[in-house]
Amino acid sequence: MDGDSIRKEFLMESLKRPKSSFTLRMAPMVDMVFLLLLFFLVAVKWRPQEDFIPLNLPAAQGASATLARPEPMQIYIQATAGGCRVDIAQIQPELINEQTMETDLAELMEKIKYVCIEQKRLADDPVEILCEPDVKSQYWVRICNVLYGMKMTDITFTVTGWQGGENQ
C-alpha cells in the first residue's frame, strides 16, 4: 500500500466512526462542591452576639451641670486729641499716641495679660471691643492685631455712641 491509499483508508475510517458528544461528569463536581461547603463551615469563625455588651450606665440625674460661655472681656476705646484711650476692666487706662504707638501697644499688651491673669481668662474667652465712632481706624485695627497676636480670636467689635466708662 502506498501513502495515498493509507490516507484514504484513514479518512474513510474516521468518517465511519460515530462522533462522541462532549459530556460533563457531574459526580466529581458534586463531590467538590460538598467538600468546599464542608471546608467553609469548619473554617469560619462565628461571631458572638452583638446585642450582649457588658455595660454599666450611670443612674439618671435630674439636673446636670452645663458649662456657660464666660462673660466677654470688655475693652473701651475713646478718641483723644493725639490718638485714643483704651480702658480694660477698670484698671489704669492706656493712652495710645500716634508718635509712640509701638511702645504704647506693647504696654497695652502687658495690661491685657495682667487682666487675663487676674480674671483667670483663657485665650479662647470672648473679647468685646466697644469703640466710639470718632476713633480713627488705625488705632482699633492695631488693637485688634495685638489681641489676635495674643491668640485671642473670639473678638466682637461694636461701634457705638458710648460716652465713657465708670472710671473717668
Q: Model confidence at 8, in pLDDT bands (50, 70, 90)?
A: confident
pLDDT at 50: 67
Residue 54 predicted with pLDDT over 80: no
Q: pLDDT for 20-53, tens place per residue?
A: 667 778 888 899 999 999 999 888 887 766 666 6
- To the nearest 5 percent, what fractions of the chain are helix, strand and coil? 40, 15, 45
pLDDT at 168: 39
In the chain, where the domains are located? 73-159
pLDDT of residue 164: 52
Residue 68 confidence (pLDDT)? 75
More confident: 60 or 103:
103
Q: Which H or E run includes 130?
A: strand 127-131
Comparing 14 with 139, which gets the higher pLDDT?
Answer: 139
Using one digit for the tens of pLDDT, what is the confidence trace for 113-140?
888 888 888 888 888 888 888 888 888 8
What average pLDDT is seen over the chain? Answer: 80
pLDDT confidence of residue 64: 61
Name residue 159's beta-bridge partners. Answer: 131
Specify which residues 88 forms β-bridges with.
75
The CATH number that domain 73-159 falls under is 3.30.420.270
